[in-house]
């Protein structure tokens, strides 16, 4: 999941438990909770979601073939059974007797319809690339083949057959992502805007939308038509949209049961105090905060300049004195994924940064005096601003360059980056599934909707594609290492830190599933009496 960090820093900061009394506003017997989601969702169309907030909301209201289970592993959801061919390129799923929230049956054709729509050449979907393991999917999205050539078919109402272009070890986990969810075909054809209002939203998940006051709150209630409704204990989830500061205050006043990751953040100034009070626990999150470079903008075309900017940043200083958490990043794939054996570069290496910068200005026929002012764009919030200020100061001291800071509203930031209307931009990526390829494919080509750097490399593309055909896991891992090395050699994106999660919660709220990918699920949650 990628963001311009209107979403991320606000979205994901953290994850844990807070030792406070149970909420005084609700009785446990009512099984109702309140949480802070901080921002209005950009979309609840599973084909178009991009931010972590939107992905988590869609997974609350909808279900796919597979779902992350209570123990954190991938398990069957709408799929009753499935079988895989010996070459791991054909999957056949038999569906449960599941229903949409309007009472319609969930049919195999609803999956086929959703995927073909997503892959239509004129349909905007940043996550369409996750479907590319399906046979002919990429060529269809590029407009080279008709959607009728997609390797999916509905044998009957309850049998779905998928053909892949190549074996995909993580394919079942991919199916938990909203872009693989079905869409009620009849509803979508009659009203393409069905996902914008509580009155028209049709889902098939454990909860449904009872009310939606835009930019204020969403009320979710148990979906009695859900195929697994007997396991859903909560009767209602009130989702408020307030600032991190207000959310923490509401939590302390027992008006909220959850504040912090992955829906909202904890105010930076409060983290140290909460840690000292043992109210916060920090857990790893498979995500990386970075700075995108627009490789078509002025001197940023120069590889040596991009590397100089990367090496001049002191990440340890930022983590210790600005964010008070996180792990310095010298690669884009989180180290917990086991890919990076050693740093790709030395953090805060000013001497090498100065040498690379001097090479760059000479290659661009510039001097320090004539070097243009660069602009660093970021989504406006306190944490992003402090990080941007720290980077601005470090670049000034190490390289002598001036950087203008441009804080814009989150949605506007995303639009600027998507349109290539920036020089440097704060962004981030949270894993959709636990495999390094999910980070590396972000930059496979400059046309991938998640790249936004205008950078691409034939060698990089070849290295990624070779991993698809690896004969064993060892060969595949070596190929992934080679791929990340190429990216860090050319530095179209500058890694800053890997995330951790922090939240505070009513300790009477049990069985909330929170994964390393920042996905949160209240399907099994309940309030202890």
DSSP 313-365: --HHHHIIIIISS-EE-SSSS-GGGS--SS-SS-TT-HHHHHHHHHHHHHHTT
Q: At what angle do helices 268-276 and 382-399 cross, to 10 degrees?
A: 100
Give tens-digit pLDDT for 69-118. 998 899 999 999 999 999 999 999 999 999 999 999 999 999 999 999 99
Domains of the chain: 43-195 (3.90.76.10), 283-500 (3.10.105.10)
Tokens coding 88: 């791991």
**Looking up tokens 């510039």, which residue turns up?**
366
Give tens-digit pLDDT for 287-321. 999 999 999 999 999 999 999 999 999 999 999 88
Interval 173-177 mean pLDDT: 95
The pLDDT value given to residue 402: 96
Residue 21 DSSP class: P
Cβ atoms < 10 Å from Cβ of 385: 16
Phi, psi torsion values for 79, nearest 5 degrees? -70, 120
Measured CA to CA in angstroms, residue 395 lies from 71, 190, 277, 392, 408 at distances of 45, 54, 36, 5, 21
Alpha-carbon Rg for the chain, nearest whole angstrom, is 23
Phi, psi torsion values for 384, nearest 5 degrees? -60, -40
Interval 167-171 mean pLDDT: 91
Question: At residue 463, does pLDDT exceed 50?
Answer: yes
Question: At residue 15, does pLDDT exceed 80?
Answer: no
Question: At residue 481, does pLDDT exceed 70?
Answer: yes
Strand order in the sheet with 152-156: 79-84, 90-95, 159-163, 152-156
Question: At residue 12, does pLDDT exceed 70?
Answer: no
With contact defined as beta carbons under 8 Å apart, do 166 and 469 qualify?
yes
Residue 123's Cβ-side half-sphere holds a number of Cα atoms within 13 Å equal to 22
Alpha carbon 128 to chain centroid, angstroms: 14
Q: Is 67 helix (H, G, I), strand (E, B) or coil?
A: strand
The pLDDT value given to residue 377: 97
Lowest mean pLDDT, pick from 127-131, 190-194, 265-269 = 265-269
Lowest mean pLDDT, pick from 1-5, 79-83, 86-90, 188-192 = 1-5
The pLDDT value given to residue 482: 96
The pLDDT value given to residue 505: 92
Alpha carbon 75 to chain centroid, angstroms: 21
CA–CA gap between residue 432 and residue 168 (Å, rounded): 15
Give tens-digit pLDDT for 404-454. 999 999 888 989 999 999 999 999 998 888 899 999 999 999 988 789 999
Interval 474-482 mean pLDDT: 94
Interval 378-397 mean pLDDT: 95
Interval 30-36 mean pLDDT: 96
CA–CA gap between residue 69 and residue 57 (Å, rounded): 16
Name which residue leads in pLDDT, 19 or 391. Answer: 391
Lowest mean pLDDT, pick from 172-186, 201-215, 260-274, 480-494 = 260-274
Name which residue leads in pLDDT, 192 or 280. Answer: 192
Secondary structure of 131-188 in the HEC alphabet?
HHHECCHHHHHCCCCCHHHCCEEEEECCEEEEEECCCCCCHHHHCCCHHHCCCCHHHH
Which positions ≥6 away from 521 have C-beta within 8 Å?
Answer: 59, 60, 67, 68, 512, 513, 514
Cβ atoms < 10 Å from Cβ of 103: 8
Instruction: Report the helix count and the strand count for the chain, using DSSP H and E.
Output: 16, 22
Lowest mean pLDDT, pick from 34-43, 198-207, 321-330 = 321-330
Question: At residue 455, does pLDDT exceed 60?
Answer: yes
Interval 26-37 mean pLDDT: 82
The pLDDT value given to residue 29: 61
**Looking up tokens 């340890």, which residue turns up?**
316
Alpha carbon 410 to chain centroid, angstroms: 15
The pLDDT value given to residue 26: 52
Question: At residue 512, does pLDDT exceed 60?
Answer: yes
The average confidence (pLDDT) of the chain is 91
The pairing of beta strand 236-240 with beta strand 32-36 = parallel
The pLDDT value given to residue 307: 98
CA–CA gap between residue 392 and residue 359 (Å, rounded): 21
The pLDDT value given to residue 161: 98
Q: What is the pTM of this model?
A: 0.78
The pLDDT value given to residue 200: 98
């Amino acid at each position: 999941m990628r963001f311009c960090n209107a979403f991320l820093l606000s979205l994901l900061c953290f994850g844990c438990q807070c030792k406070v009394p149970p909420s005084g506003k609700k009785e446990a017997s009512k099984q109702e909770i309140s949480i802070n989601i901080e921002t209005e969702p950009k979309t609840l169309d599973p084909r178009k979601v991009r931010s972590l907030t939107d992905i988590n909301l869609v997974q609350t209201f909808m279900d796919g073939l597979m779902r992350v289970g209570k123990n954190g592993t991938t398990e069957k959801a709408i799929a009753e059974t499935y079988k895989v061919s010996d070459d791991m390129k054909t999957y056949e799923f038999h569906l449960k007797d599941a229903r949409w929230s309007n009472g319609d049956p969930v049919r195999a054709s609803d999956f086929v319809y959703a995927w073909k729509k997503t892959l239509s050449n004129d349909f905007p979907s940043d996550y369409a690339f996750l479907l590319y393991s399906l046979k002919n999917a990429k060529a269809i999205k590029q407009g080279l083949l008709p959607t009728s050539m997609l390797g999916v078919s509905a044998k009957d109402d309850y049998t779905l057959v998928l053909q892949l272009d190549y074996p995909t070890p993580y394919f079942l986990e991919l199916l938990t992502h909203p872009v693989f969810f079905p869409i009620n075909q009849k509803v979508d054809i009659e009203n393409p805007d069905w996902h914008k209002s509580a009155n028209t939203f049709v889902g098939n998940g454990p909860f449904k939308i009872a009310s939606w006051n835009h930019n204020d709150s969403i009320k979710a209630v148990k979906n009695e038509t859900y195929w697994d409704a007997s396991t859903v204990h909560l009767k209602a989830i009130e989702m408020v949209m307030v600032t991190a500061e207000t959310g923490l205050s509401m939590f302390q006043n027992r008006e909220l049961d959850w504040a912090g990751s992955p829906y909202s953040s904890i105010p930076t100034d409060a983290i140290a105090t909460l840690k000292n009070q043992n109210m916060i626990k920090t857990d790893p999150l498979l995500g990386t905060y970075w700075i995108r470079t627009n490789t078509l903008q002025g001197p940023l075309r120069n590889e040596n300049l991009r590397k100089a900017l990367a090496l001049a940043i002191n990440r340890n200083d930022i983590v210790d004195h600005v964010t008070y958490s996180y792990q310095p990043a010298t690669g884009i794939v989180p180290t917990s994924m086991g890919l990076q054996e050693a740093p790709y570069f030395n953090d805060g290496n000013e001497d090498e940064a100065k040498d690379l910068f001097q090479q760059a200005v000479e290659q661009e026929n510039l001097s320090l005096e004539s070097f243009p002012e660069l602009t660093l764009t970021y989504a406006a919030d306190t944490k992003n601003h402090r990080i941007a200020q720290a980077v601005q100061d470090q670049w000034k001291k190490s390289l002598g360059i001036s950087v203008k800071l441009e804080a814009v509203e989150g949605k506007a930031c995303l639009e600027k980056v998507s349109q290539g209307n920036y020089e440097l931009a704060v962004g981030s990526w949270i894993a959709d599934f636990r495999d390094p390829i999910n980070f590396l494919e972000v930059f496979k080509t400059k046309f991938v909707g998640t790249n936004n750097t205008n950078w691409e490399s034939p060698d990089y593309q070849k290295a990624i594609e070779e991993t698809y055909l690896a004969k064993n896991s060892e060969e595949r891992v070596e190929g992934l290492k080679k791929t990340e090395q190429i990216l860090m050699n050319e530095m179209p994106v500058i890694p800053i830190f890997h995330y951790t999660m922090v939240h505070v919660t009513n300790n009477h709220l049990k069985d909330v599933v929170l994964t390393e990918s920042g996905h949160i699920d209240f399907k099994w949650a309940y309030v202890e009496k």
